[in-house]
């Protein structure tokens, strides 16, 4: 069993050494523990620090692609290097690395395939009230969309088994945290959370450059999540609201008309017609979006089965080469 701990990095030369010094080289249940960093176009000495501190694998982006792309590049590389379990953590040493054994335990016991480290949000001093509120809001939205009970959805401290890692696809460029949990809920992946500890802040969050920016990006992320993963509910709700408003305004016009005041309420008739038309069209979009969502799921399943077949063929090839007398010293 191999565990690979991956760390997405962007200009993390000042904190990476601290984070790496805390990582374990042995975790019970695994034969080997390796470290991997994803250099997301860093312009400082991140790579040099990683090499000096014994990182086993380095994945480089030619430019800054964003946290979500860095996360997925790391997942792909970990699978390539034969990881059975992948742990994702941050380069700013936010998460307490001593909790890694606790994080992987549900996977080793076959109780879960994806494990999220739940931070003590209320007691983290450097989190502003607005950020705490948004963390709770984001977690609530994810629970509704994914039908899971994860209390800290934005947490990046997580463990993933190999099969689940092969299934994950992230469309969002901003962050991977919310989307991967929703995918887990939709794909019937066994997911759970464990309480973890956090360390003192070494630097301000890169994702939260300012509260207004964080609010804006969080709202966009949440809306996109619903559009992608719950399209029928999203467009259907909007369509029903518009159609219902148009229907009620139309009833009001009819009431006035039969009272003999219809000529003075033509505006209500026009508004009712517009809202009914918009509502009906939005409901049609809901059905089309639902069909597209079903097609996406089929493509994701095909991608997963293709990846599994490729891995099986590679394993067979490896065994055949090992059994060939020419390859024996």
Per-residue tokens: 142: 């994810």
pLDDT of residue 4: 97
Which pLDDT belongs to residue 54? 92
Q: For position 223, what pLDDT does the model report?
A: 78
User: What order do you get walking across the sheet with 85-88 strand by strand?
Assistant: 57-60, 32-39, 2-9, 85-88, 158-161, 114-118, 191-195
| Residues whose CB is less than 8 angstroms from the CB of residue 280 and which lie 6 or more positions away in sequence, other chains included | 239, 243
**Domain made up of 2-229: CATH architecture:** Alpha-Beta Complex (3.90)
- Per-residue pLDDT at 244: 94
Alpha carbons 127 and 143: distance in angstroms, whole number:
22
Mean pLDDT, 10 residues at a time, over the chain (329 residues)? 95 92 94 95 92 94 89 92 95 92 95 92 72 76 79 90 88 78 84 91 64 70 76 91 93 81 76 93 92 78 69 52 45
- The bridge status of strand 114-118 relative to strand 158-161 is antiparallel
Domain locations along the chain: 2-229, 231-325
């Amino acid at each position: 069993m191999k565990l690979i701990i991956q760390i997405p990095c962007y200009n993390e030369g000042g904190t990476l050494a601290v984070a790496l010094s805390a990582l374990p080289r042995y975790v019970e249940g695994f034969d080997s523990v390796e470290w991997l960093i994803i250099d997301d176009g860093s312009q400082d000495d991140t790579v040099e620090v990683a090499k000096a501190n014994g990182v086993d694998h380095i994945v480089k982006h030619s430019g800054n692609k964003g946290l979500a792309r860095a996360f997925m590049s790391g997942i792909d590389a970990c699978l390539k290097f034969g990881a059975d379990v992948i742990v994702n953590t941050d380069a700013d040493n936010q998460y307490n690395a001593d909790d890694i054994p606790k994080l992987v335990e549900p996977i080793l016991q076959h109780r879960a395939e994806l494990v999220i480290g739940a931070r003590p949000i209320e007691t983290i001093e450097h989190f502003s009230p607005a950020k705490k509120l948004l963390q709770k809001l984001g977690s609530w939205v994810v629970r509704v969309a994914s039908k899971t009970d994860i209390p800290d959805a934005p947490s990046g401290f997580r463990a993933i088994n190999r099969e689940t890692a092969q299934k994950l696809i992230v469309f969002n460029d901003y962050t991977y945290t919310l989307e991967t949990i929703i995918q887990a809920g939709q794909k019937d992946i066994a997911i759970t959370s464990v309480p973890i500890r956090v360390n003192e802040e070494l630097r301000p969050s890169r994702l939260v450059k300012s509260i207004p920016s964080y609010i804006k990006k969080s709202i966009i992320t949440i809306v996109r999540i619903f559009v992608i993963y719950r399209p029928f509910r999203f467009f259907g709700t909007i369509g029903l609201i518009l159609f219902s408003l148009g229907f009620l305004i139309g009833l009001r016009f009819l009431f006035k008309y039969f009272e003999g005041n219809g000529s003075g309420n033509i505006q209500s008739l026009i508004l009712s017609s517009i809202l009914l038309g918009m509502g009906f069209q939005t409901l049609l979009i809901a059905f089309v979006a639902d069909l597209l969502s079903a097609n996406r799921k089929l493509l994701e399943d095909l991608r997963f089965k293709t990846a599994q077949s490729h891995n099986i063929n590679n394993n067979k090839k490896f065994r055949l080469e090992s059994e060939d007398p020419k390859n024996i010293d």
